[in-house]
Amino acid sequence: MPKLLDRYIFCEWLKIFVIAIGVTLGILILHDMYDNLGRLIDWGASTEDIVLYYALLLPTLVPVVLPISLLLSLIYILGSLHRNNEITAMRSAGMNVFKITRSLWFAGVLLAGLLLWLNASIIPYAKEQSRTLYDNVKYEDQKKHMKLSDVGKVANLCFNNRKDGRLWFTNSFSSAMNRANGVRVSVLDKEGREVSRVMAREGVYDDVSKCWFFTDGQEITYDAKTHRATKAIGFDKKYYNDFVEEPKIMVLSMRRPKDLSLFETKTLIDAFNDKESYEAKPYLVRWYSIWASAFACIIVVAIAIPFSVAGVRTNPMVGVSKTVGLFFLYFVIDSIFSALGGRGYIPPLWASTIPVVAMMLFALSLYRKAI
């Protein structure tokens, strides 16, 4: 009997879950089409490019869609069991809450494991490839209307290389040509004092030599104690073989942490070298949050079941309202802690795990009362 009941509840839930995830994905895809489809068409993207872009975009939406779809499907199936008095009949037959809902717990754990696997493999690849395809289409259009040096331009590019003690600032940077205009690079000692500065009209990253060279510039040397210029040497063109900062990493550092994939986040963390640095903290929070986000599926199950079971004795809409409210409260708390961790007020690991652990303990306490 219990196995038959488990299959019945699981199959009923699965039907609603598939519909919910399809509808939610459709809404998010339509939202992106509203923003980007017109641009892709205007830029001359082919039908194959557009189809491939949205095929790659689909997996990147899963971390958002999965918990929401799970929540909606749980609310529906548990509400349906309540309306038909099936939960009352099961409990009258001596079954406790866990026996009734263990197939839903299994579904939550299964989806959490699936999300962990997707976050570690498919989603980072899809996120990077969809962005690359989008950028390539845009750059091809820009090449028809702009100078090559203006294609893929990033304004006011800054990069703090704490590992090697170099602070970069450029007025603009062309991703298409790896060329920067209006370059200033400050070389710092271990105490963060400026010992020299390179200023140039233009800087280019040499893909063969894996270093930068500058044209029409000068190198200024400073006294570390007085910070007065002691020597200034002009040059027409000069290679700096120890300036090995990769443009890709410099551009990535200008993106918001939440827009980066798992692989890109790890690349930036490694580039910063010092995990305690201020620049690295937002990316560490992002790194830990990606892994912790999978547990949202289990939190959803732990929240939905107690209030839905309580709905047998009270108005079921009260339980639904509390479930949805707690679910969104979790994301509000998570956003607050992420902001605190990104600004260095609390360790990044704590910022990512405290909301998950706190909400899980609270949900389990509700579940224990319901049993």
Q: Is the pLDDT of residue 145 over 70?
A: yes
Q: Is the pLDDT of residue 29 over 90?
A: yes
pLDDT per residue over 317-329, tens digit each?
665 677 777 778 8
Q: Is the pLDDT of residue 258 over 50?
A: yes
pLDDT per residue over 65-74, tens digit each?
999 899 888 8
What residues contact 247, with CB distance under 8 A and at least 6 apart? 173, 175, 178, 205
Q: What is the pLDDT of residue 315?
A: 56
Q: What is the pLDDT of residue 114?
A: 94
Q: What is the pLDDT of residue 1?
A: 47
Question: Which residues are paired to 185 by β-bridges?
Answer: 168, 198
Q: What is the pLDDT of residue 49?
A: 94
Q: What is the pLDDT of residue 312?
A: 44
Residue located via tokens 């390179």 = 198
pLDDT per residue over 328-359, tens digit each?
888 889 889 988 988 888 999 899 999 888 88
List the beta strands (DSSP E) in the chain: 153-161, 166-174, 179-188, 194-206, 211-222, 229-240
Cα within 13 Å of Cα(71), Cβ side: 20
Q: Give percent of the chain with pLDDT exceeding 70.
A: 94
Segment 26-54 mean pLDDT: 93
Q: pTM for this structure?
A: 0.83
pLDDT per residue over 50-67, tens digit each?
999 999 999 999 998 999
Q: What is the pLDDT of residue 147?
A: 77
Residue 364 DSSP SS3: helix
Q: What is the pLDDT of residue 175?
A: 81
Q: What is the pLDDT of residue 187?
A: 93
Q: Is the pLDDT of residue 311 over 60?
A: no
Q: Give percent of the chain with pLDDT exceeding 90.
A: 40
Q: Is the pLDDT of residue 362 over 90?
A: no
Q: What is the pLDDT of residue 303?
A: 84
- Of 111, 172, 144, nearest to 43 by C-alpha is 144
Q: What is the pLDDT of residue 79?
A: 80
Q: What is the pLDDT of residue 143?
A: 82
Segment 208-234 mean pLDDT: 89
Token readout for 205 is 């990253």
